[in-house]
Amino acid sequence: MANIMSLKQSKSYKAVTYNYKGKILLKTRSSRTSRLGDYILLVSSALWYSHTQNLPLLVRKNYNKHFPHQDLAALEDFPAKFFDKIVRLNSLDMAIKNRTKKTLYVVQWKSRATRSLLFQFAYHDKLFYSKLRTIFKPSASLPPLKKTRKEITVALHIRKADQHDLKLYGPVASDEPIIIPGKKYVDMKWPSKFPPNVFYINTLEKLYKLIKTNPIRVILFTNDLNPDKLLQKIKSAVKIPNMIFQLSPGKTVLEDWNLMQKCDGLIRGSSLFAWSAELLGLHKFSIHPKEVSWLNNNLIVGEVITEIRHQGTFFTSTLDKVTPKNIQQLFENY
């Protein structure tokens, strides 16, 4: 832990923090999204600056009760006018100058565009990944993921609109669009967060053809108001006898997030909640759309990206080019 008194007494003290003003909802499971992914993206970006520039990371006290941030100095421990200069950082490649004044670097909200870079940094820089795993290890003990030895577990994350968002044009639980003239829709603004059901169905069918040798347990993680209905809809459309479907056994958002990390594979949209689980998880593969767009009132999924981690290598391809050998080698010892 940094000595706060010595830091305050330094004439050329520099530190990095993050600009987060939202609420993180982790205690219960409800139709509301947690905003955990937004928080983790910002803190991870600040941690990258801290790691590469050898700067102390100042956490925000309001958001550290679920993670062991208490081992770090907090921004609130410093007087309001302690820093002579504040520099806002909008991307991970912004240079940090060797300033002589007491300077606070603040990672801004716009840094969410850097998520792909953080994946690469976390995978290739083992020390940075270790720091990520440490700072985001939940303070409370959480239940393990239960599975049989031969099973391959696949987390299926389906995001739905909540009280924070506008309504959906094409609801997640039904691919039939509900059109209200003049209404704004959240999936019109961020279509990649809300892929249609057909994306998940087609991906599961393709995944089955790539694996076949092992039973697949699909675990649905969602903020849908009717998760049982959504699960049944996906299960009925897939119709694969060697594929087991279930809802997440997690009772809180934090438990869901932790269990999602422990699955062998992850199928997701661009939700930051699922992204953060992938960043910190140990998945052997993840599958997500590269692009989702609207065409004639239909939500269309373009290329589908597959990321495979195996024996120190990081392989990225489109799903159509992945071979059974690429996937089966991940589970040779199952």
Q: Token digits for 30? A: 């409800």
Q: Are the C-beta atoms of residues 63 and 25 closer than 8 Å to each other?
A: no
Residue 146: strand, helix, or coil: coil
- Segment 233-237 shows an average pLDDT of 95
Q: How many domains does the chain have?
A: 2
| DSSP character string of 218-262 | EEEEE--S-HHHHHHHHHHHH--TTEEEEE---SSHHHHHHHHHH
Q: Is residue 145 part of a domain?
A: no
Determine contact, residues 163/32, Cβ cutoff 8 Å: yes
pLDDT above 70 covers what percent of the chain? 79
The whole-model pTM stands at 0.86
Residue 142 domain flag: no
pLDDT tops 70 at residue 334: no
Of the listed ranges 21-30, 99-108, 305-314, the one predicted with least confidence = 21-30
166 and 105 within one domain: no
8 Å CB contact between 268 and 262: no
What does the alpha-carbon distance between residue 289 and residue 140 come to, in Å, rounded to a whole number? 33
Domain at 245, CATH number: 3.40.50
Task: Give me 331's structure tokens.
Answer: 């589970």
Residues 68, 9, single domain; the answer is yes
Non-local (6+) Cβ contacts of 34 within 8 A are 24, 25, 26, 253, 257, 273
pLDDT 10s digits, 133-156:
888 888 778 888 988 878 999 999
> Phi and psi at residue 268, in whole multiples of 5°?
-150, 165
- Shortest CA distance to 179 belongs to which of 187, 171, 169? 169
Tell me what pLDDT residue 71 has: 66
* Type of residue numbered 254: L
Q: CA 163, 165, 170, 173 torsion: positive or negative?
A: negative
Pair (88, 161) in one structural domain: no
| Mean pLDDT for the stretch of residues 36-54 | 88
Both 161 and 200 in a single domain? Answer: yes
Domain extent at residue 15: 4-135
Indicate if the pLDDT at residue 29 is higher than 50: yes
Task: Find the mean pLDDT for residues 57-62.
Answer: 80
Verify that 99 and 69 share a domain, yes or no: yes
Reported confidence tier of residue 249, pLDDT bands at 50, 70, 90: very high
Query: What type of residue sits at position 53?
Result: Q
* Whether residues 70 and 157 fall in one domain: no
Task: Say if residue 108 is in the same domain as residue 16.
Answer: yes
Query: Domain check: are 199 and 114 in the same one?
Result: no
If asked whether residues 324 and 192 sit together in one domain, one would say yes
pLDDT tens per residue, range 175-216: 444 555 555 677 777 888 889 899 999 999 999 999 888 899
Q: Could you tell me which of 316, 224, 314 has the C-alpha nearest to residue 271? A: 224
Residue length of the chain? 334
Share of the chain above pLDDT 90, in %: 28
Place of tokens 């056994």: 249
Q: What is the DSSP string of 51-75?
A: HHHT-PBPB-GGG-TTTTGGGS-BG
More confident residue, 258 or 179: 258
pLDDT 10s digits, 91-121: 777 777 766 678 899 988 655 557 777 877 8
Residues 6+ positions from 312 with CB-CB distance below 8 Å: none
Taking residues 82-90, what's their average pLDDT? 86
